[in-house]
Amino acid sequence: MELILKLREEVGMAVLLITHDMGLVAQTADRVLVMYAGQLIEQAPVLELFDHPAHPYTRALLRSVPGIRDERDRVLASIQGIVPERYDRIKGCRFAGRCPHRRDVCGNPQTYMELGPDHKVRCSRAKEAELNEPCC
C-alpha cells in the first residue's frame, strides 16, 4: 500500500481499491463506493460516509470494524443471514433479507437518491429518523 500511495502522489494517478478493510479505506480513500450483491448502494466522500452512513449495510459494515478506542470486551457486530445467490432476480433491495430495518417498501425497486452534496444511497428508507441515529 505504501508503494501504491507513493506512486499515486508522484504520478498523480487515481487508485481503485477493492476491499472490505474499512480501516484501510479510512486511511487511504478520498471517496467510497459501497456495493452489496453486485449493486452500488452508497457513495460519498470518505469522511461523510464514516460520519453519516445511510444504507443499513454500510452501517452494519462500520459496526463490525474494531476501533482502537474500543473496550477489550467489546463484541463486534455481525451481519445476520447470508448473501443471496440469485441477487440479479431480486426486484427490491438486495440487502432486505438481512436488514433489521426491513419494511414492505423494501420489496419495491430502490432508486439511487441524493442525500446531500456528493452523497447518494439506494435505500427508500434512508431519510427516515430510525436510520439517521448515530451509528458507529
Beta bridge partners of 40: 35
Give the C-alpha separation, 89 to 67, whole Å. 37
Task: Please report the pLDDT score of residue 76 as a whole number.
Answer: 78
For residue 122, being part of any structural domain is answered with yes
Give the C-alpha separation, 123 to 131, whole Å. 10
For residue 33, being part of any structural domain is answered with yes
For residue 85, being part of any structural domain is answered with yes
For residue 125, being part of any structural domain is answered with yes
Task: Please report the pLDDT score of residue 107 as a whole number.
Answer: 94
Residue ranges in the chain whose pLDDT is less than 70: 129-130, 134-136
Question: Domain residues for 100?
Answer: 21-64+76-131
Number of domains in the chain: 1
As a dihedral over the C-alpha atoms of residue 9, residue 14, residue 15, residue 21, rounded to 10 degrees, the angle is 80
Task: Please report the pLDDT score of residue 122 as a whole number.
Answer: 96
